Amino acid sequence: MYDLHDIVEMKKPHPCGTNRWEIIRMGADIKIQCTGCGHIVMMPRREFDHKLKKLLEKAEK
Protein backbone atom coordinates (compact mmCIF):
# COMPACT_ATOMS: atom_id res chain seq x y z
CA MET A 1 0.00 0.00 0.00
CA TYR A 2 2.70 2.53 0.98
CA ASP A 3 6.47 2.37 0.75
CA LEU A 4 9.62 4.31 1.59
CA HIS A 5 9.71 7.94 0.26
CA ASP A 6 5.98 7.96 -0.60
CA ILE A 7 4.07 11.18 0.14
CA VAL A 8 1.02 10.61 2.37
CA GLU A 9 -1.76 12.68 3.87
CA MET A 10 -2.67 12.21 7.53
CA LYS A 11 -6.12 12.75 9.07
CA LYS A 12 -5.02 15.83 11.05
CA PRO A 13 -2.93 18.57 9.40
CA HIS A 14 0.40 19.62 10.89
CA PRO A 15 0.35 22.92 12.84
CA CYS A 16 2.63 24.51 10.17
CA GLY A 17 -0.33 24.37 7.76
CA THR A 18 0.67 21.53 5.42
CA ASN A 19 -0.68 18.00 5.41
CA ARG A 20 1.95 16.30 3.23
CA TRP A 21 4.36 13.88 4.87
CA GLU A 22 7.21 11.84 3.38
CA ILE A 23 7.88 8.36 4.78
CA ILE A 24 11.60 8.32 5.62
CA ARG A 25 11.87 5.08 7.65
CA MET A 26 9.87 1.87 7.67
CA GLY A 27 9.93 -1.06 10.06
CA ALA A 28 8.00 -1.83 13.22
CA ASP A 29 7.96 1.97 13.63
CA ILE A 30 7.38 4.43 10.80
CA LYS A 31 9.14 7.79 10.66
CA ILE A 32 7.54 10.57 8.64
CA GLN A 33 8.82 14.06 7.82
CA CYS A 34 6.63 17.11 7.20
CA THR A 35 7.28 18.45 3.69
CA GLY A 36 6.46 21.98 4.86
CA CYS A 37 8.68 22.58 7.89
CA GLY A 38 10.81 19.43 8.07
CA HIS A 39 9.50 18.24 11.45
CA ILE A 40 10.03 14.49 11.99
CA VAL A 41 7.55 12.23 13.78
CA MET A 42 8.07 8.56 14.62
CA MET A 43 5.14 6.30 15.51
CA PRO A 44 4.31 2.60 15.65
CA ARG A 45 3.04 1.12 12.37
CA ARG A 46 -0.36 0.35 13.93
CA GLU A 47 -0.85 4.00 14.96
CA PHE A 48 0.36 5.18 11.52
CA ASP A 49 -2.19 2.93 9.78
CA HIS A 50 -4.94 4.41 11.97
CA LYS A 51 -3.93 8.05 11.34
CA LEU A 52 -3.27 7.66 7.58
CA LYS A 53 -5.89 9.29 5.37
CA LYS A 54 -4.56 8.58 1.86
CA LEU A 55 -1.52 8.07 -0.31
CA LEU A 56 -0.81 11.17 -2.42
CA GLU A 57 2.29 10.23 -4.44
CA LYS A 58 4.20 6.99 -4.99
CA ALA A 59 8.00 7.26 -4.86
CA GLU A 60 9.79 6.86 -8.16
CA LYS A 61 11.88 3.70 -8.32
pTM as predicted: 0.89
- The 10s digit of each residue's pLDDT in 19-43 is 999 999 999 999 999 999 999 999 9
**Does the pLDDT at position 47 exceed 90?**
yes
pLDDT of amino acid 6: 96
pLDDT of amino acid 55: 96
**What does the domain layout of the chain look like in residue ranges?**
6-57
The percentage of residues in the chain with a pLDDT greater than 70, rounded to a whole number, is 98
Quick one: pLDDT band at residue 9, thresholds 50, 70, 90? very high
Mean pLDDT of the chain: 94
Q: Following DSSP, what letter does each residue of the chain receive, concatenated?
A: ---TT-EEEESS--TTS---EEEEE-SSEEEEEETTT--EEEEEHHHHHHHEEEEEEPPP-
